[in-house]
Amino acid sequence: MNSEKFQKVIDGKLVQLYHIFSQNISCFITNYGARVVSLTTRDKDSRMVDVVLGFDNIDGYLEANEQYHGATVGRYANRIANGSFSIGNEQYILDQNNGVNSLHGGVKAFHNQVWECLQHEDDSILLELISPDMQEGFPGKLKTHVRFTIVDSTLQIQYEAISTKDTVINLTHHSYFNLNGEGSGTTLQHYLKINSEYYTPVNETTIPTGALNMVADTPFDFTKTKSIGEHINNDHEQLTIGFGYDHNFVLNQHVEGELNYAAEAIGDKSKIKMEVWTTEPGVQFYSANHLDGSDAGKSGHSYTSRSAFCLETQHFPDSPNQNHFPSALLSENQIFRSFTEYRFSTV
């Protein structure tokens, strides 16, 4: 990729493009939104295939209808009901940028800020963002680090953060994956397995109701491998609300701080397999229902509905307002840590 096409000053800071790689994976990352621009890995014929949607210049990201391509999302990934939450007796008001709710940290969130590159080596890059106290309504000056590392055929993403006040935090990675190659069409024939027996159903504004519903005997049962599209058009209330899949899955055998198998997907044509492992208790499976074809990516092809999927490791949506969900509270001066791996192979 041409790094000069990413050089631009935004908010007084220089945007650049960085390259990390191994023999099996090549990954380009920009410090605008700490986002993955390109991720190429070998298919069944040993050809290198770019498996994430994105653009080959910074203006593509600035002008895109979809804001979150490849981005590091925070301070709070996913939704917070009615744009508000409380810590103790103190209520905090956030931007309502998704109907009445707050989505992915608000308007001026992690995905559209310029991060500082602290370290860059052939196989690793460390980025930092300092978010001021009360930015987008969140308490505490928050210092966040994200490190991307390539080890053989694995992309590792490690998050650390510390706040000057009690706050809430939920960080995730938001690549849109197509394992047959970006711009190659629908992913409905991709195969998917999710290590989850429960999911969190949502109301009409896509906020969790608080229930944990079993996936068994529903379109949400991915405990055994099946195609993404097998049941996506079923007459099911939850699929109607989300226009397809856009739901948090509760991961089995989650032990806080330990890396746990979350999901795997396989490209039906490329036979590229991607396993997701994480320390997080949940994963949001999103079938890219709202991509509308208005964005044309690196290949020049339009990104249409369901031409990708996301597997966003996370704490549950609206956890700050639902006490029985795993807590997203980060206490003052406590260090937040989260770790996710995307492991690539072929079948």
**71: CB partners within 8 A, 6+ apart:** 33, 34, 35, 110, 111, 173, 174
In whole angstroms, give the CA distance from residue 58 to residue 16: 9
Whether 19 is catalytic is no
Eight-state DSSP code of residue 229 = T
Catalytic residue among 264, 312, 315, 341: 312
The DSSP code sequence of 2-66 is -GGGG-EEETTEEE-EEEEE-SSEEEEEETBTTEEEEEEEE-TTS-EEE-B---SSHHHHHH-SS
The answer to whether 307 and 178 are in contact (CB under 8 A) is yes
The tokens of 112 are what? 């559209």
Closest C-alpha among 228, 248, 224 to residue 238: 248
Residue 46: count other Cβ atoms within 10 Å of its Cβ.
Answer: 8
What is the per-residue DSSP string for 133-193? TTGGG--S-EEEEEEEEEETTEEEEEEEEEESS-EE-B-EEEPPB-TT-TTS---TTSEEE
Give 173's strand partners.
Answer: 72
Alpha-carbon distance of 312 to 248, in angstroms, equals 9
- Active-site residue (options: 69, 111, 173, 174): 174
Place of tokens 């999103």: 286
Q: Are 102 and 76 in contact (CB under 8 A)?
A: yes
> Can 312 be counted among the known catalytic residues?
yes
Sequence-distant (6+) residues with CB within 8 A of 176 are: 52, 53, 54, 66, 69, 70, 182, 288, 291, 303, 308, 309, 310
Residues in the chain: 347
Catalytic residue ranges: 174, 312
